[in-house]
Amino acid sequence: MRDPDCVFCSIIAGELPADLVVETEDLVGFLDQRPVFKGHVLLVPRQHVVTLPDLPAALRDPFLATAQRLATAVVDALGAQGSFVAINNVVSQSVPHLHLHVVPRTKGDGLRGFFWPRTKYDDGERAAYAARLREALG
């Protein structure tokens, strides 16, 4: 199922560009267009699901397993010391399609609480970050 007005559904369908990091039969992970830190990945189900409580039971384990792999990949591929993993449900959910954030973290990176400053990629840099993460995922 797809919502024709959903940005993430359009990315999944290949109608909008994105730097893909991981693809499975049920899930897609791609770099956030406005990352908190470079390498910030969004993991989404291919099926249009609005919030975590709406996620079908059959997708719960694959969704979390892929999130675990991404949390490891940002450390292995990007030299991060850890990661911040989060899901917003309705409030602060900028796109009404379930998405899990995996943000690479290092001590002293400036992230405080839930104030998320955003950064930008330089030309061509986003594709290089996506390639590094894909390599770490195997």
- pLDDT tens for 4-15 read 899 999 999 999
Question: Does the structure show a pLDDT above 90 at 118?
Answer: no
Check: CB of residue 61 under 8 Å from CB of residue 17: no
Residue 29 inside a domain? The answer is yes
Residue 2 inside a domain? The answer is no
Question: Does the structure show a pLDDT above 80 at 49?
Answer: yes
- Domain containing 114 equals 7-137
Residue 88 inside a domain? The answer is yes
CATH of the domain at 34: 3.30.428.10
In the chain, pLDDT over 70 holds for what percent of residues? 96
Reply yes or no on whether 99 is catalytic.
yes
Residue 16 inside a domain? The answer is yes
Question: pLDDT digit string (tens) for 67-106?
Answer: 999 999 999 999 999 999 999 999 888 999 999 999 999 9
Residue 114 inside a domain? The answer is yes
Among 40, 48, 97, 99, the active-site one is 99
- Output the pLDDT for position 40: 97
Check: CB of residue 67 under 8 Å from CB of residue 73: no
Averaged pLDDT for residues 55-65: 98
Split into its structural domains, the chain has a count of 1
